[in-house]
Structure 1
Amino acid sequence: MKKIRIGIGGWNFPEWRKGVFYPEGLPQRQELEYASHVLGSIEINATYYGSQKPESFQKWHDETPEDFVFAVKASRFATNRKVLAEAGDSVARFLTSGITRLGTKLGPINWQLAETKKFDAPDFAGFLKLLPQAQDGVPLRHAVEARHDSFASDEAAALCRDHGVALIRSGDSKFPEIDAQTADFAYLRIMGTTDQPLGYGEADLDRWADEARRIAQDREVYLYVISGQKDRNPAAARALIERLAQ
């Protein structure tokens, strides 16, 4: 079985304090260190909204265990556009912003498309060609989060497969759940947590744990509990980790 990493989006969330996820009294500066010893990965979301300092990526690298991995959400300026194939400058700017300071802890990059962006084969192919296999000597893995139904097609999957790019699978959400094997890793974002103590009910936790095991028969798995009832996401992630450890 391939490696399965379970995580959440971000780590700086006030509702996770006071014993909900972080122990009471834990200094805020130690939250990433704590989270990285409990979870297998974290998706960095702040990079979607604006550039981060290279020193920040270095700091995050240094505060986390050697086997920890970050997924990084790419800049919205590269993906929220009418013509994706014209995003070359924005893609290059993001890839040289300091993310490679994460080194071996740099996991997949999430190129999240706008909900209104429809699949256009020549345009999408042009965009995929902009995604390099390495930057500053650091290997890169790319994943596209398509949020329009038109991407649930064999042609879109084939283009991703040609470039070794994963199509992100969105679970328990309003977005299309595209389940296509297009890379040597799978990237899942599940968004159905509610106010239940563990975010998900027992049956749904079992379902996602079983699904992660199935996929891991031939691909590395990155699964993030995102959105939904956000204050319950760490509990859901930990419950999945416990099930997969059994």
Structure 2
Amino acid sequence: MAGKVLIGVSGWRYTPWRGHFYPAGLPQWRELQHASRVFNSLELNGSFYSLQRPSSYATWAQHTPGGFVFAVKGSRYITHMLKLRNIEVALANFLASGLFELGEKLGPILWQFPPAMRFHPEVFEAFFRLLPASTHEAARIAVQRDERLQGRERLEPGRNRRIRHAVEVRHESFVTPEFIRLLRKYRIAWVVADTPRPWPLYEDVTSDFVYMRLHGSTELYNSRYTTQELERWARFIATWRDGGEPDDARLVCPVRARERGGRDVFCYFDNTDKRHAPDNARELMAMLGVTWKPEPAAA
């Protein structure tokens, strides 16, 4: 059975989109409502910069329709400041900060690493061991939060659901089959990150889902994707969705992923500065025949 294709944008609150993607005069508090009825998934960025509150997650869940999915960006305190060392309490705080309020709308957690951070196998394997594979596992970690979360935590996970993880790396030391094997061992997705910078751009499949971030092919966070570029990505997504792997994929590891019945594909456009992300996302949806008919929003 073919996987699901979820296409959206990274974040949703951008001034240049007002009067362009967002109708003129639309109140700011309704922007998420609007975006979540155009796209079936969005990347939630605020969680990267600081711990959010359960009330914020609850509001985001309430303002989005049934069937919608958030990808949640992991805390930069863990990835950029602690650099994955001594992170047990920080991970507990992140998991206790309100993610469970998203319920069925909780999608993959994205862990993005800084360009200067190198691959140290023992550090990353220890990190991967800590990552919860389900919401019940996450709840067992979350109870270890510290006093900063007292009175503003959410520790009840509800029905047990799988938690997926994806990693975006930006240093050439990760371009080694050893890292790909490690990702496959823990079923963590290598992020296919398109960027003009000298960051790794490879398309290895390392889990039962694929995670893409399209930052702009010629100008970081800015350039618009051409029809030809989008057609290539549409072809790749269709192949991944059907459980295969494109013959012309750029690979770190010569051993390809096993074929399967299908894979879910999460694709987010991050070329936001000149309003291109929403337009490119809608173009790609049309190419793939992805239609989004939202269920009614939660009461």
- The TM-score normalised by the length of structure 1 is 0.93
Larger mean Cα displacement after TM superposition, 228-237 or 154-163 = 228-237
Gaps of 5+ in 1: none
Larger mean Cα displacement after TM superposition, 166-175 or 78-87 = 78-87
Secondary structure of the residue aligned to 1:80 is helix
Q: Deviations over 1:74-108 (max 9, x none)?
A: 11011114652422221121111101111110111
The yes-or-no answer on 1:242 pairing with 2:267 is no
**Offset at residue 229 of structure 1 (A):** 4.1
Q: Distance in 2 between matches of 1:154 and 1:33?
A: 42
Q: 1:156 aligns with which of 171, 179, 191?
A: 179
* Equivalent residue runs for 1:90-109 within 5 Å: 90-109=90-109
**Offset at residue 22 of structure 1 (A):** 0.6
Q: Distance in 2 between matches of 1:63 and 1:22?
A: 16
Report what 2:169 is aligned to.
Answer: 146
Report what 1:172 is aligned to.
Answer: 195
Q: Distance in 2 between matches of 1:241 and 1:80?
A: 33
Q: Distance in 1 between matches of 2:62 and 2:275?
A: 26
Q: Distance in 2 between matches of 1:161 and 1:93?
A: 27
Q: State the one-letter code of the partner of 2:99.
A: I
Q: Distance in 2 between matches of 1:16 and 1:210?
A: 28
**Offset at residue 178 of structure 1 (A):** 2.9
Report what 2:154 is aligned to.
Answer: none
**Offset at residue 227 of structure 1 (A):** 3.5
Gaps of 5+ in 2: 139-156, 244-262, 291-299
**Offset at residue 126 of structure 1 (A):** 0.7
Q: Distance in 2 between matches of 1:87 and 1:38?
A: 37
The CA RMSD measured in Å over matched residues stands at: 1.8
Contact 1:85 1:124 in 2 (8 A): no
* Equivalent residue runs for 1:1-246 within 5 Å: 1-18=2-19, 20-81=20-81, 83-134=83-134, 135=138, 136=157, 137-174=160-197, 175-192=199-216, 199-218=224-243, 219-227=263-271, 229-245=273-289
Please identify runs of 4+ aligned residues in structure 1 that moved more than 3 A. 227-230
Q: State the one-letter code of the partner of 2:226.
A: G
Q: Deviations over 1:28-74 (max 9, x none)?
A: 11111110010121101111111111011111111111111000111
Contact 2:7 2:267 in 1 (8 A): yes
Q: Distance in 1 between matches of 2:94 and 2:11?
A: 18
Contact 2:196 2:216 in 1 (8 A): yes
Q: Distance in 1 between matches of 2:21 and 2:218?
A: 16
Secondary structure of the residue aligned to 1:139 is coil
Q: State the one-letter code of the partner of 1:205.
A: L
Q: Distance in 2 between matches of 1:160 and 1:242?
A: 32
The size of the alignment, in residue pairs, is: 243
Secondary structure of the residue aligned to 2:130 is coil
Q: State the one-letter code of the partner of 2:267.
A: L
- The TM-score normalised by the length of structure 2 is 0.77
Q: State the one-letter code of the partner of 1:10.
A: G
Secondary structure of the residue aligned to 2:203 is coil
**Offset at residue 228 of structure 1 (A):** 6.0
Percent identical residues = 39
